[in-house]
Structure 1
Amino acid sequence: MKRVIVMYFSPTGTSGKIAGAIAGGISQAMDCQLETIDLTEPEVRDREYSFSDQDILVLGYPVYAGRVPEVLQAPLRRVKGNGTSAVLAAVYGNRDYEDALIEGQDILTEGGFSVIGAGAFIGEHSYSKKVAAGRPDGEDLACAKRFGEQISDKLKNSQLAAIEVKGNRPYKDPMPDMPFLPKTTDACTDCGICADKCPMQVIHRDDPRIVDQGCILCSACVKSCPVDAKYIAAEPIVKIRGMLETKFMDRKEPELFL
Structure 2
Amino acid sequence: MKRVITMYFSPTGTSRKIAEAISSAICAQFGCEMETINLTEKEIRDGEHEFEEDALLVLGYPVYAGRVPEVLQAPLRRLKGSGNAAVLAAVYGNRDYEDALVEGQDILTKAGFSVIGAGAFIGEHSYSKKVAAGRPDETDILKAQAFGRQFAEKLEQGSTAEIKIKGNRPYKDPMPDLPFVPKTTDACSNCGICVKKCPMQVIHKENPRVVDSGCILCSACVKCCPEEAKIIDAEPILKIKAMLESKFTHRKEPELFLF
TM-score range, shorter chain: over 0.9
In structure 1, the residue matched to 2:72 is: 72
1:186 equivalent in alignment to 2:186 = yes
How far 1:53 moved relative to its partner? 2.7
Q: Letter of the aligned partner of 1:120 in structure 2?
A: A
- Residues 193-214 of structure 1 deviation map (CA, whole Å, 9 limit, x = unaligned): 0011000000011111101000
How far 1:133 moved relative to its partner? 0.3
CA distance in 2 between counterparts of 1:53 and 1:256 reads: 25
1:193-232 aligned at under 5 Å gives the runs 193-232=193-232
CA distance in 1 between counterparts of 2:64 and 2:232 reads: 16
CA distance in 2 between counterparts of 1:89 and 1:234 reads: 30
How far 1:157 moved relative to its partner? 1.3
CA distance in 2 between counterparts of 1:63 and 1:229 reads: 25
In structure 2, the residue matched to 1:130 is: 130
Given that 1:10 and 1:62 are in contact with CA atoms closer than 8 Å, whether structure 2 keeps it comes out as yes
1:165 equivalent in alignment to 2:169 = no
Q: TM-score, normalised by structure 2?
A: 0.99
CA distance in 2 between counterparts of 1:161 and 1:178 reads: 40
1:38 equivalent in alignment to 2:53 = no
CA distance in 2 between counterparts of 1:199 and 1:30 reads: 33
In structure 2, the residue matched to 1:13 is: 13
Number of paired residues? 258
Q: TM-score, normalised by structure 1?
A: 0.99
Gaps of 5+ in 2: none
- Residues 15-74 of structure 1 deviation map (CA, whole Å, 9 limit, x = unaligned): 000000000010011100100000000000011111133211000000000000000010
Gaps of 5+ in 1: none
CA distance in 1 between counterparts of 2:48 and 2:79 reads: 6
Aligned identity (percent) is 72
2:7 aligned counterpart, secondary structure: strand
2:159 aligned counterpart, secondary structure: coil
1:124 aligned counterpart, secondary structure: coil
Given that 1:86 and 1:115 are in contact with CA atoms closer than 8 Å, whether structure 2 keeps it comes out as yes
1:88 equivalent in alignment to 2:102 = no
1:80 aligned counterpart, secondary structure: coil
* Moved segments of 4+, more than 2 Å: none
Q: Letter of the aligned partner of 2:234 in structure 1?
A: A
Given that 1:53 and 1:85 are in contact with CA atoms closer than 8 Å, whether structure 2 keeps it comes out as no
1:47 aligned counterpart, secondary structure: coil
Q: Letter of the aligned partner of 1:80 in structure 2?
A: K
Q: Letter of the aligned partner of 1:9 in structure 2?
A: F
In structure 1, the residue matched to 2:146 is: 146
How far 1:100 moved relative to its partner? 0.1
- Residues 101-126 of structure 1 deviation map (CA, whole Å, 9 limit, x = unaligned): 00000000001100010000000000
